[in-house]
């Protein structure tokens, strides 16, 4: 089983600043990683797939990168609507055995 570990659990950032969220895989998942945003009472929304590809309609302020088994979601110049919980998900396994990180809550400082 591949375990995804996100850090930090909570990140406090001021509007206009940059946020950097991390997600580490317990073993290689290649670039088979997605990031989702979830606001309170809402459905998870796809942000990034393939570690670094923005989904349709996602602002260029969101970017993803990877180094080995360490994945990063960067949100530049935070807007009020960006404060939410962010989850990473690996989809490298076959047969499929998807695993999500435990989430990072991005809150206003």
One character per residue 29-58, x = contact with other proteins (rule: CB under 8 A)? ---x-x-x------xxxx--x-----x---
Least gap, CB of 77 to other proteins (angstroms): 25
Among 16, 57, 68, 95, binds other proteins (CB under 8 A): 95
93 forms part of the interface with other proteins (CB under 8 A): yes
Pick between residue 13 and residue 50 the one whose CB is nearest to other proteins.
50
Output the CA–CA distances (angstroms, integers) from residue 82 to 36, 62, 63, 93, in the order listed. Answer: 12, 10, 13, 30
Q: Which token pair is 45?
A: 């929304």
Residue 79 and residue 90: Cα distance in Å, rounded? 27
22 forms part of the interface with other proteins (CB under 8 A): no
The beta-strand segments (E) located in the chain are 4-7, 10-13, 19-25, 33-38, 45-49, 53-54, 62-67, 70-75, 85-90, 99-100, 104-108
Pick between residue 43 and residue 60 the one whose CB is nearest to other proteins.
43
Pick between residue 60 and residue 94 the one whose CB is nearest to other proteins.
94
């Amino acid at each position: 089983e591949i375990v995804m570990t996100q850090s930090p659990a909570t990140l406090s950032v001021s509007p206009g600043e940059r946020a950097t969220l991390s997600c580490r895989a317990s073993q290689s998942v290649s670039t088979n990683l997605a990031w989702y945003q979830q606001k309170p009472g809402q459905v998870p929304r796809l942000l990034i797939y393939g570690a670094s590809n923005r989904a349709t309609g996602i602002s260029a302020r969101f970017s993803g990168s990877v180094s080995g088994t360490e994945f990063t979601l960067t949100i530049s110049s935070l807007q009020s609507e960006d404060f939410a919980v962010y989850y990473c998900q690996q989809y490298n396994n076959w047969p499929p055995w998807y695993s999500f990180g435990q989430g990072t809550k991005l809150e206003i400082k």
